[in-house]
């Protein structure tokens, strides 16, 4: 693995390798001293053109726990707000000797562009045998968010397969992904990763929030949450629904928030339909009372807070696997 751009191009062996490494990383995070010397002397740049709190902090924490130096570069307060192009920003980071760039952008394909443009070949100061800069996609438009899908898969494996399930996938598990699939890179990343790991995925959304072409994805489609829950999924992942997609006007995808909540919200009654071992995931930030009720979000079956902790372990694993060895 040289970059982590999309879950569609991850092999099953690579995906399981990341999950297994994350399990060891998670164990180190229960120690009193959480810092490891592994990436000492390496530089990780967080290049965020789009607002993000948890993903940026999670990557920053992961890099620091592995002793890498972290440079945070957000579009606000940088030359990007003065109109500097992605290319010139990349050339600058390259000259500064970055070993990895974590990129978040509103433009689908930004991470792929950085990885394959030849702008980030490693600084000439470091000699010609520099392996080039590793790119980690932290969310690009409505395309992909691979580390989120990996942390979701890690959380599912821990709860549904076993805490020591090293080497195993998610074979035969039933997963429902509910909500705004149209705008969700989390859903796209999950569909392909879960398929690779052997799970059986159903996407549940109103027809207006399913993208054209979703019928070609490796997932079942459903417009009816109650019918999907009646089939007893092992995990239910609720996606965030943005309020600006609601209500009247030609740009709306939904008639009203109330109708969405009634048809697609996870409330106590729907939670009771889940099997006892079933878990509830949400990538955050949540709209309590819209796609998920407070009772569902705070129930013992909810693993939403644990997802955040697992995110650090999974990102440590990705950074370790991309940066520690000789390519």
Least distance to other proteins from the beta carbon of 130, Å? 11
Q: Among 5, 140, 59, which Cα is nearest to 315's?
A: 59
Least distance to other proteins from the beta carbon of 308, Å? 22
| Cis peptide preceding 3, ω within 30 of 0 | no
CA dihedral for 110, 113, 114, 115, sign (positive or negative): positive
By CB under 8 A, tell whether 21 contacts other proteins: yes
CB 319 within 8 A of CB 62: yes
Residue 69: HSE in the Cβ half-sphere, 13 Å Cα cutoff: 8
- Looking at the Cβ atoms of 254 and 317, the one nearer to other proteins is 317
- Both structure tokens of 70: 């972290």
Least distance to other proteins from the beta carbon of 166, Å? 8
Query: Which class for 14: exposed (0-12), middle (13-18), buried (19 or more C-beta within 10 A)?
Result: middle
- Looking at the Cβ atoms of 24 and 121, the one nearer to other proteins is 24
Fill in the per-residue mask, 160 to 199: x = in contact with other proteins (CB under 8 A), - = not in contact.
Answer: ----------------------------------------
| Element holding 156 (H helix, E strand) | helix 146-156
Q: Among 146, 90, 79, which Cα is nearest to 116's?
A: 90
By CB under 8 A, tell whether 25 contacts other proteins: yes
Least distance to other proteins from the beta carbon of 311, Å? 18
Least distance to other proteins from the beta carbon of 98, Å? 16
By CB under 8 A, tell whether 37 contacts other proteins: yes
Phi, psi of 177 (to 5 degrees): -115, 120
Alpha-carbon distance of 267 to 263, in angstroms, equals 10
By CB under 8 A, tell whether 242 contacts other proteins: no
- Looking at the Cβ atoms of 67 and 78, the one nearer to other proteins is 67
By CB under 8 A, tell whether 125 contacts other proteins: no
Alpha-carbon distance of 59 to 114, in angstroms, equals 18
By CB under 8 A, tell whether 252 contacts other proteins: no
Q: Among 183, 276, 187, 176, which Cα is nearest to 226's?
A: 176
By CB under 8 A, tell whether 20 contacts other proteins: yes
Query: Applying CB under 8 A, which part among 27-35, 217-225, 250-258, 298-306 lies near other proteins?
Result: 27-35
Alpha-carbon distance of 177 to 7, in angstroms, equals 16
CB 178 within 8 A of CB 89: no
Work out which of 9, 28, 92, 301 binds other proteins, going by CB under 8 A: 28
Residues numbered 60 to 79 that lie near other proteins (CB under 8 A) are 66
Residue 187: HSE in the Cβ half-sphere, 13 Å Cα cutoff: 30
Work out which of 8, 9, 14, 17 binds other proteins, going by CB under 8 A: 17
Least distance to other proteins from the beta carbon of 231, Å? 36
Query: Applying CB under 8 A, which part among 105-113, 181-189, 305-313, 319-327 lies near other proteins?
Result: 319-327
Residues near other proteins (CB under 8 A) are: 17, 20-21, 24-25, 27-28, 31, 33, 35-38, 66, 320-321, 324-326
């Amino acid at each position: 693995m040289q970059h982590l751009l999309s879950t569609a191009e991850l092999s099953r062996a690579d995906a399981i390798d990341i999950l297994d490494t994350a399990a060891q990383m998670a164990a180190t995070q229960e120690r009193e001293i959480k810092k490891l010397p592994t990436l000492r002397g390496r530089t990780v740049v967080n290049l965020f053109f789009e607002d993000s709190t948890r993903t940026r902090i999670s990557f920053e924490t992961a890099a620091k726990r592995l002793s890498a130096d972290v440079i945070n570069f957000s579009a606000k307060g940088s030359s990007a707000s003065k109109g500097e192009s992605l290319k010139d920003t990349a050339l600058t980071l390259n000259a500064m000797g970055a070993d990895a760039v974590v990129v978040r952008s509103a433009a689908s394909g930004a991470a792929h562009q950085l990885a394959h443009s030849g702008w980030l070949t490693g600084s000439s100061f470091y000699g010609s045998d520099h392996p080039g800069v590793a790119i980690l996609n932290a969310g690009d438009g409505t395309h992909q968010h691979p580390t989120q899908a990996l942390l979701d898969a890690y959380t599912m494996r821990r709860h549904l397969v076993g805490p020591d399930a090293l080497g195993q996938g998610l074979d035969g598990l039933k997963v429902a992904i509910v909500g705004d699939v149209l705008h969700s890179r989390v859903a796209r990343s999950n569909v392909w990763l879960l398929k690779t790991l052997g799970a059986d995925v159903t996407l549940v959304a109103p027809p207006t929030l399913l993208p054209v072409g979703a019928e070609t994805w490796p997932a079942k489609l459903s417009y009816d949450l109650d019918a999907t829950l009646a089939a007893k999924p092992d995990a239910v992942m609720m996606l965030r629904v943005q309020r600006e997609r609601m209500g009247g006007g030609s740009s709306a995808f939904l008639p009203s928030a109330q109708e969405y909540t009634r048809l697609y919200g996870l409330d106590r009654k729907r939670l009771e339909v889940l099997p006892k071992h079933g878990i509830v995931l949400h990538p955050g930030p949540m709209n309590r009372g819209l796609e998920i009720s407070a009772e569902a979000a705070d129930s013992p079956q909810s693993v939403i807070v644990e997802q955040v902790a697992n995110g650090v372990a999974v990102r440590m694993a990705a950074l370790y696997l991309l940066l520690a060895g000789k390519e």
